[in-house]
């Protein structure tokens, strides 16, 4: 069994749904991102069934994977979108997404992004500072419209995750400190070009426990009650994203457990009239993708064995950025394991930080295919062209069918718009 249900071994070969990954490598080359359509649907269904007919809006945190085919799939399933830039807004609109199901997050929204989002008619702006609130009020006024606003508060809870993906602590750049939130809401209430609609938080990513959510919820409920006493009534409560996935042997927090606990707390405080918004990114796509790569060279020494592969940190930044662990599978494992050695799996980029996995036992030969698992989230979207490496193709598998949802970039395209000067 691998960590991802739709990437399993059949007859000794790793498949994406019903297609052997080695067929895809032969047909499309490597490195290659391969996604499973059914995995997207299953991940969505976990949230849908957890909502149990309650007033819940799930907004896919699309920075995890913003390929149009992925967005279109979630749009058709009924998803909203959590966007963090004008570029992401354009992607949602490009697949015909409904702007009234978009929440706009991010600490540094520029005026043009606000204008575009107002024009599209987004559900709300998740405002992260007083300065941003004032800019939004001004932009809305200029446009002769009213901006729907939710304040992203920082509840100062520890999500017990990696420091780089923890966002709800006092020292993080995100959100408005919970102690200042009432004053900022009161300021918002005085600005006629703003309409207060909600409150939100997002405390971190790859969270595997329910307690950080409940700690945050408790603080938000107090805030909602204080605001109500001041005559400020909210329509929705947005608890962000952050639900973890399986990279190795994590026990997972299921959407059902999370939502049941949230509804319990809301009911206890007579707040079940509020719409609940969630912004899951990773948990909707992370285990729906792998990064397929070919072993170019093996390099053995007394100190280390290296498998130098054709994927690199420009294709998957998470290991070097977060020290993240991705499970790695040989696509066609050899049965004779007496030859196996511990390998560091590294790319060709001229950086010591260019590694994908360390100390993994394999019996490898040049030309072997490896699948780096759980590469559906924060993989392609963080990819770069460093070392003038074209970004890899993205394939969506649907049963026995493989669709190219983004072709491999050509080398020429990487500098086609550059010019030299005399
Ligand atoms: C990144 C992000 C998300 C999605 O987070 P996941 O951990 O991938 O679920 C949701 N909301 C905001 C504001 C984000 O920045």
Complete domains list, the chain, with CATH: 7-36+286-414 (2.40.37.10), 105-280 (3.20.20.10)
The CA 37 to ligand 1 mean position distance, Å, reads 21
Both tokens assigned to 71: 């967005």
pLDDT for position 373: 98
The CA 60 to ligand 1 mean position distance, Å, reads 9
Res. 393: pLDDT tops 80: yes
Is the CB of 109 within 6 Å of ligand 1?
A: no
User: What number does the ligand 1 atom closest to the CA of 280 have?
Assistant: 9
The whole-angstrom separation of Cα 282 and Cα 206 is: 8
| Three-class SS state of 222 | helix
Is the CB of 161 within 6 Å of ligand 1?
A: no
pLDDT for position 246: 93
Contacts of 30 (CB under 8 A, 6+ apart): 292, 293, 294, 310, 311, 369, 392
Res. 355: pLDDT tops 80: yes
Quick: pLDDT tens for 8-34: 999 999 999 999 999 999 999 999 999
The whole-angstrom separation of Cα 85 and Cα 104 is: 8
Known active-site residue 124: no
Going by pLDDT thresholds of 50, 70 and 90, the confidence category of residue 1 is confident
pLDDT (mean) for 45-67? 97
Residue nearest to atom 1 of ligand 1 (CA): 61
> How many Cα atoms within 13 Å fall on the side-chain side of residue 245?
29
Q: By percentage, how much of the chain surpasses pLDDT 90?
A: 92
Res. 169: pLDDT tops 90: no
Going by pLDDT thresholds of 50, 70 and 90, the confidence category of residue 183 is very high
Quick check: pTM over 0.95?
yes
Is the CB of 280 within 6 Å of ligand 1?
A: yes
Quick: pLDDT tens for 264-314: 999 999 999 999 999 999 999 999 999 999 999 999 988 899 999 999 999
In 52-85, which ranges are continuous DSSP H helix?
Answer: 68-77
User: What number does the ligand 1 atom closest to the CA of 378 have?
Assistant: 8
Is the CB of 242 within 6 Å of ligand 1?
A: yes
Is the CB of 88 within 6 Å of ligand 1?
A: no
pLDDT for position 165: 62
Going by pLDDT thresholds of 50, 70 and 90, the confidence category of residue 80 is very high
Work out the mean pLDDT of the chain and round it to a whole number: 96
């Amino acid at each position: 069994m691998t960590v991802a249900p739709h990437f399993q071994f059949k007859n000794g070969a790793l498949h994406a749904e019903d297609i052997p990954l080695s067929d895809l490598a032969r047909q499309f080359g490597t490195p290659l991102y391969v996604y499973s359509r059914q995995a997207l649907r299953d991940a969505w269904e976990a949230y849908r069934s957890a909502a149990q007919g309650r007033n819940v809006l799930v907004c896919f945190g699309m920075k995890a994977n913003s390929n149009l085919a992925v967005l279109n799939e979630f749009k058709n399933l009924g998803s909203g979108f959590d966007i963090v830039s004008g570029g992401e807004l354009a992607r949602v609109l490009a697949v015909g997404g409904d702007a009234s199901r978009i929440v706009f997050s991010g600490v540094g929204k520029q005026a043009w992004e606000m204008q575009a989002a107002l024009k599209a008619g987004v559900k709300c702006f998740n405002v992260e500072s007083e300065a941003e609130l004032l800019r939004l009020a001004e932009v809305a006024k200029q446009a002769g419209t009213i901006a729907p606003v939710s304040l992203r508060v920082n509840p100062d809870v520890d999500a017990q995750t990696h420091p780089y993906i923890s966002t709800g602590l006092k020292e993080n750049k995100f959100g408005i400190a919970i102690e200042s939130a009432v004053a900022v809401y009161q300021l918002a209430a005085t600005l006629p070009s703003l309409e207060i609609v909600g409150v939100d938080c997002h405390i971190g990513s790859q969270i595997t426990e329910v307690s950080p959510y409940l700690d945050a919820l408790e603080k938000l409920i107090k805030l909602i009650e204080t605001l109500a006493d001041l005559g400020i009534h909210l329509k929705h409560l947005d608890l962000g994203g952050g639900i973890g996935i399986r990279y190795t042997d994590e026990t997972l927090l299921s959407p059902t457990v999370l939502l049941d606990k949230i509804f319990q707390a809301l009911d206890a405080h007579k707040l079940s009239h509020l719409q609940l918004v969630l912004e899951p990114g990773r948990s909707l796509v992370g285990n729906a993708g792998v990064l397929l790569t070919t072993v170019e060279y093996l390099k053995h020494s007394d100190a280390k064995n290296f498998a130098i592969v054709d994927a690199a940190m420009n294709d998957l930044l998470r290991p070097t950025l977060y020290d993240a662990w991705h499970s790695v599978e040989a696509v066609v494992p050899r049965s004779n394991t007496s030859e196996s050695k511990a390998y560091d799996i590294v790319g060709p980029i001229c950086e010591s930080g260019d590694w994908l996995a360390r100390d993994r036992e394999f019996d490898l030969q040049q030309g072997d295919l490896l699948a780096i698992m759980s590469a559906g989230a924060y993989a392609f979207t963080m990819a770069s062209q460093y070392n003038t490496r074209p970004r890899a193709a993205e394939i969506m598998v649907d049963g026995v069918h493989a669709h190219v949802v983004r072709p491999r970039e050509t080398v020429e395209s990487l500098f086609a718009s550059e010019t030299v000067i005399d």
